[in-house]
Structure 1
Amino acid sequence: MSGDSPEGTTISSRRSTVRVVVLGDHATGKSSLIAAAASDTFPENVLPVLPLTHLPADYFPDGIPVIIIDTPSSLEDKGKVEEELKLADAIVLTYACDQPETLTRLQNFWLPEIRRLKVKIPVIVVGCKLDLRDEHYPINLELVMGPIMQQFREIETCIECSAANLVQVTEVFYYAQKAVLHPTAPLFDQESQTLQPRCIRALKRIFLLCDHDMDSALNDDELNEFQVRCFNAPLQPSEIVDVKRVVQEKVPEGVNRLGLTLKGFLYLHALFIEKGRLETTWTVLREFGYNDDLELEKENLPVPSEKAPDQSVELTSEAVDFLKGIFRLFDSNKDGALQDSELDEMFSTAPERWGPWNEAPYKDSVERTELGDLTLSGFLSQWDLMTLIDPPQSLAYLIYLGYTGDPATAFCVTRKRSLDFKKQHTQRHVFQCFVFGPKNSGKSALLTSFVGSPFQSKYNLTSDQCYTVNTVDQLGGTKKTLILHEIQEDDVKELLSSKESLAACDVAVFLYDSSDEHSLKRASELLMDVAMKGEDSEYAVPCLLVAAKDDLHPYPTSLKDSEMICLTMKIDAPIRMSVKENDTNDAFLRIVNAAERCHLSVPETEHGRNKKHYQQLVNRSLVIASVGAAVAVVAFAAYRAYALRKSNSAS
């Protein structure tokens, strides 16, 4: 496997330029270095601070130009320097080889200052005026800079140069550009001298994609195909022999009778990086779609973007079949559930262990077995949730897991819910339910009961919006996926301030504590707010009132009050339930049924009735006006006919 990238190839097509800021103490040679690099001559007279300097694309093998910003060293210009640093891609930090104190200042002032500003970009340390160093006092750059580089990991490399003799001047900005286009940190841990975990995961995925016969080794043909794809040049048979020999000498298990193994593939990339040939590994990674964070570029994923606010994204049957196959493949003990170790292996080609599901909003969002394993139903439900709320991430993870079909076939966009409303029918398989209610009304208990979690008697205030998702069995054997999205009482006002706030909601549920009169009052106010928002927009949603905590003693007029609210707003009667006693009263099925019959259970308010009545009056007036106009036209036509006959008879 060759490490040479084709001449003129743009390694990072996303960048059009690299912006480099040159920092350092006064008289360390900053301006002379820049001027010498730009003109390839040593300037006898140079301005104290140079204007913006451009090094053209043909100056560098990667074909990307560099913009250099010179900076003053005076304290009064500190603010301007800080602004430039925030816009920079890399820093060239200078000291003077004939002034040892400037090297000390680097360690004691400049590098801590860069950290204080939280500027997380690569630093190239450059010793200028190499020609002026006293030849009787040579220094070992590696010994001097080693401890400093250990302390400041942001230092990418160190180099000494002479603008007067044009020694290693061009190399300074080549290394600065290279540190941006081919950064070390995402690939390699300098301290342990090992590949970073994310780098290993990305390279493992690439290896598996290239292992077409799936025998856990790259044979000569597969190696050659990989080489041509990444570097546009085939490997000669002798080169393949040399590659295998180098690997086998250091990592015997890196090669077997079938070809180069994953261990050998990873060793080769570690070897390239140790030898400073990071562009080789970055060329491979970028060919397979990775960005600097070793994630697939979401901007390049063909996720449906042209959709109305009340349309959602769902997995296609093709994507679901792929996921079922993946589940069966990694269910090594064939018990119908994935253990954490099996999930870890499944996601070993993705950036993070267990994918994105170990953090909010996915953590604890699906049902698991008593042992904590993930069933197929829970696995698919997790994907339904991720596809609904973050389609680019869902597609990226499908690809990490090996989805090789056309990515555009993985998703489908649902019909507009406003059109479903008119047709009185929906084609959706995944419904999102917004769960509203005052504090301590039982919202979190409802969500956790949906995924089989035990009831918690102690009340814990939910700090963030959260989701749970599960499948709901319907009459006739069909299944729908229901996503419950808890909306905190304090967030309702902000949510409803958006014109499209209810566009993603298929059905809204309003919980209240049936033992607390104030709780019902507050729930009815929230119901009224949502109903009025729906009436004032095109995103009216079916609503249900849920009397939670039915095991508690209801206040005297609880049933009558709640039924009156539903009757007045023309929605279904309240659903009485008790999570504590495991009596949900088919609440989840009734939520799905309300979402499917989206034209029913849409609440009406006095405001809405007046608005509808006014619209009916307007429409009636328009009809009367139209009829009147039609009668007038007919009468006028009859009069003209009469007048014409009279005129003819008179003549």
Structure 2
Amino acid sequence: MLGGLVSSARTNVRVVIVGDRGTGKSSLIAAASAERFIHQVPPVLPPTRLPADFYPDNVPITLIDTSSSLENRGKLAEELKRADSVVLTYACDQPSSLKRLSTFWLHELRRLEIKVPVIVVGCKLDKRDADDPTNLEHVMAPIMHQFREIETCIECSAANLVQVPEVFYYAQKSVIHPLAPLFDQEIHMLKPRCVRALKRIFVLCDHDMDGALNDEELNEFQVKCFSTPLQPGEIVGVKKVVQDKLPDGVNELGLTLTGFLFLNAIFVEKGRTETAWSVLRKFGYNDEVKLRDDIVSSAKKKAPDQSMELTSEAIEFLKGVFSSFDDDKDGVLQSSELDDLFSTAPECPWDEFPYKDAVERTPLGGLSLNGFLCEWALMTLLNPTQSSANLIYIGYNCYAASALNVTRRRVVDRKKQKSERNVYQCLVLGPKNAGKSKLLNSFLGRPFLESYSPSKMDNYVVNVVDRPGGPRKTLVLHEIPEMGLQKLFSDKECLATCDVAVFVYDSSDKYSLKRASELLVDVARHAEEIGCEMPCLLIAAKDDLDSFPMGIKESEKVCQDLGIDAPVHVSVKERDLNNVFQRIVNAAEHPHLNIPETEFGRSKKQHRELVNRSLVFVSVSAAIAVVGLAAYRAYASRKNTSS
């Protein structure tokens, strides 16, 4: 790989220059701009622009001079917070200014939470005593070890124009071709996300899938990334460099993945980050070493009450992926096999909330095919862009939008009295200790636990529901703890994206029924107000306990008053679930039924009917008037003719 430049999409780089008074900030800027030494410069220069053609990346640079006086600290902080990179100066002839880097300036940048690359610049190199034994690398090594934000260090002289252009080249390069996302300077290794991206690129370039890049594949890679082919001698030279340092980096078939990673690491370690970034950007990666949004963009829903599902083509692709990574063919992807599957993605997407505990896993963390597909269904429902990106990361080569399907609007489903979704989302609500979490656990077949620990955050589980005589459906249960209800009422999309809601109460506790009923009415009323009515079910949990007096009659009356089905009685402890999950799916599938009607809804309905009747009356009256007028004109016409 000979290298070349593929710049980021930046249109400008803003560099803020800071440091103690008298360290040469203004002279450095003036010398870079004029390309000669300026003897008299103002204490603080106005913003200075270096044109796009000043450096090979063709990106203009705006240089911001600053004052280090106490009265200008507020202005300094404002400029730093707008910086893309910072040039931090000291004077080579003033040892105290060098010491101030670690005792003040670098700590100040951290205090202000300035998280951009820092270039440390020793100015006035021409004024250093010739007998001064200071070694830049020796002096800066401990400082750079303590402050990892320092990208590089350089010494210069504005008076002699020594390394002046290089200062701002490094400042620009630290932004356009940043080191931090690629390389861990502490352990001197490529960062995991960079390794994963390069592995994906290697796999894409290994057309014959033999685990090595042959000469033709290497040449295609070179042309794609740098627009220039490799000569046969250069290919031999590249492989020799790798083989001399890393014998298993090359085999009889060509450059191995190990060698490919080693080669990229060499470029980065030698400061040629632009070469690694050229490769990454040609394959669609952004500055976070993730695929760009324009590559992973998927079909988008046009209304809040639409959702996203995997297409049949994407599901078949995932089944094939599952089979190919199930090395021992035991029908389960073990943790190591899952890690291998996602080794070309920035990270395994299912290691964190809300996916980590959303499906049942084996004791060693493995996933069955059902669990694997359920995780994908959940990710597609909650974050379609993330799902689309991960499909591409693991090898889905079709256009991203072809992997996802936008479902019909739920308001249309209600009018047609039928939903044809394959994935349903169900809100699970209820008071504390009603049995919500235990209901979710039972959906995954997890054992019943007597202990109670209140849910403090949302919880998701997903599984497939088999129904006699009907197609299998994927059901997502979304538990919202009582303390999280405010978000439910403030976020319109939260209700719009749900197909059904269930309200769980402890059938042995009168207060629990009262609170669940209040929640049901509150949610139903809010749904009526925003036009997102959905089927609702009342679930009487802990049916193994004795019901409170009149409990069954009171709960049935609540349902009767709201016009929904009678409560579904379940006992998770006794494993008597009364087909509750099938009932939830049936309710979601028939979205015109089991919609609770509150007093607000009835008033709204009566008002709408009154308006409709008024409109009908006005329409009929207008029609009669038109007919009457036509009859009168006909009569008048006949009368005039006869006379």
- TM-score normalised to the size of structure 2? 0.98
Which among 547, 551, 562 is matched to residue 558 of structure 1? Answer: 551
Q: Which residue of 1 aligns with 2:102?
A: 107
Alpha-carbon distance between aligned partners in 2 of 1:368 and 1:112, rounded to the nearest angstrom:
46
Instruction: For residue 58 of structure 1, report the CA deviation from its aligned partner.
Output: 0.4
Which among 558, 573, 579 is matched to residue 580 of structure 1? Answer: 573
Q: Which residue of 1 aligns with 2:8?
A: 12
Structure 2 residue 496 is matched with structure 1 residue 497: no
Q: Deviations 1:371-402 (Å, cap 9, x if unpaired)?
A: 54211000000000001111111111111111
Q: Deviations 1:81-120 (Å, cap 9, x if unpaired)?
A: 1121111111111111111111111121111221222212
Structure 2 residue 91 is matched with structure 1 residue 96: yes
Which among 453, 461, 470 is matched to residue 460 of structure 1? Answer: 453
Instruction: For residue 642 of structure 1, report the CA deviation from its aligned partner.
Output: 2.6
Structure 2 residue 39 is matched with structure 1 residue 44: yes
- Matches for 1:471-482 after TM superposition, within 5 Å: 471-476=464-469, 478-482=471-475
SS state at 1:478 partner: strand
Q: Which residue of 2 aligns with 1:74?
A: 69
Q: Deviations 1:320-355 (Å, cap 9, x if unpaired)?
A: 111111111111111101111111111111112xx1
Alpha-carbon distance between aligned partners in 2 of 1:287 and 1:436, rounded to the nearest angstrom:
48
Instruction: For residue 369 of structure 1, report the CA deviation from its aligned partner.
Output: 3.5
Instruction: For residue 48 of structure 1, report the CA deviation from its aligned partner.
Output: 0.5
SS state at 1:78 partner: helix
SS state at 2:342 partner: helix
Q: Is the 8 A contact 2:301 2:406 kept in 1?
A: no
Which among 287, 290, 315 is matched to residue 310 of structure 2? Answer: 315
Q: Is the 8 A contact 2:291 2:389 kept in 1?
A: yes
Which among 630, 633, 641 is matched to residue 637 of structure 1? Answer: 630
Instruction: Extract unaligned runs of 5+ from structure 2.
Output: none
Higher mean C-alpha deviation, range 231-240 or range 473-482: 473-482
Alpha-carbon distance between aligned partners in 2 of 1:316 and 1:509, rounded to the nearest angstrom:
28
Instruction: For residue 477 of structure 1, report the CA deviation from its aligned partner.
Output: 5.3
SS state at 1:363 partner: coil
Instruction: For residue 28 of structure 1, report the CA deviation from its aligned partner.
Output: 0.4
Q: Which residue of 2 aligns with 1:64?
A: 59
Q: Which residue of 1 aligns with 2:168?
A: 173
Q: Is the 8 A contact 1:500 1:539 kept in 2?
A: no
Q: Which residue of 2 aligns with 1:617?
A: 610
Structure 2 residue 372 is matched with structure 1 residue 376: no
Identity %: 64
Which among 184, 192, 201 is matched to residue 187 of structure 2? Answer: 192
How many pairs were matched up? 643
- Matches for 1:237-256 after TM superposition, within 5 Å: 237-256=232-251
Instruction: For residue 535 of structure 1, report the CA deviation from its aligned partner.
Output: 1.9
Alpha-carbon distance between aligned partners in 2 of 1:546 and 1:420, rounded to the nearest angstrom:
24
Instruction: For residue 66 of structure 1, report the CA deviation from its aligned partner.
Output: 0.9
Q: Is the 8 A contact 2:181 2:287 kept in 1?
A: yes
Q: Is the 8 A contact 1:298 1:393 kept in 2?
A: no
Instruction: For residue 433 of structure 1, report the CA deviation from its aligned partner.
Output: 0.5
Q: Which residue of 1 aligns with 2:225?
A: 230
Specify the code of the residue in structure 2 equivalent to 1:260.
Answer: L
Specify the code of the residue in structure 2 equivalent to 1:335.
Answer: D
Which among 533, 539, 556 is matched to residue 532 of structure 2? Answer: 539
Alpha-carbon distance between aligned partners in 1 of 2:193 and 2:14, rounded to the nearest angstrom:
27
Alpha-carbon distance between aligned partners in 2 of 1:642 and 1:192, rounded to the nearest angstrom:
103
SS state at 1:518 partner: helix
Higher mean C-alpha deviation, range 559-568 or range 297-306: 297-306
Q: Which residue of 1 aligns with 2:463?
A: 470
Instruction: Extract unaligned runs of 5+ from structure 1.
Output: none
Alpha-carbon distance between aligned partners in 2 of 1:497 and 1:154, rounded to the nearest angstrom:
40
Specify the code of the residue in structure 2 equivalent to 1:407.
Answer: A
Structure 2 residue 381 is matched with structure 1 residue 395: no
Q: Is the 8 A contact 2:301 2:308 kept in 1?
A: no
- TM-score normalised to the size of structure 1? 0.97
SS state at 1:192 partner: coil
Instruction: For residue 500 of structure 1, report the CA deviation from its aligned partner.
Output: 4.0
SS state at 1:545 partner: strand
CA pair 40-315 structure 1, distance change in 2 beyond 3 A: same
Structure 2 residue 641 is matched with structure 1 residue 648: yes
Alpha-carbon distance between aligned partners in 1 of 2:112 and 2:57, rounded to the nearest angstrom:
30
SS state at 2:225 partner: helix
Alpha-carbon distance between aligned partners in 2 of 1:398 and 1:136, rounded to the nearest angstrom:
62
Specify the code of the residue in structure 2 equivalent to 1:564.
Answer: K
Runs (4+) off by over 3 Å: 369-372, 498-501, 646-649
SS state at 1:348 partner: coil
Structure 2 residue 320 is matched with structure 1 residue 302: no
Q: Is the 8 A contact 2:4 2:278 kept in 1?
A: no
Instruction: For residue 528 of structure 1, report the CA deviation from its aligned partner.
Output: 0.6
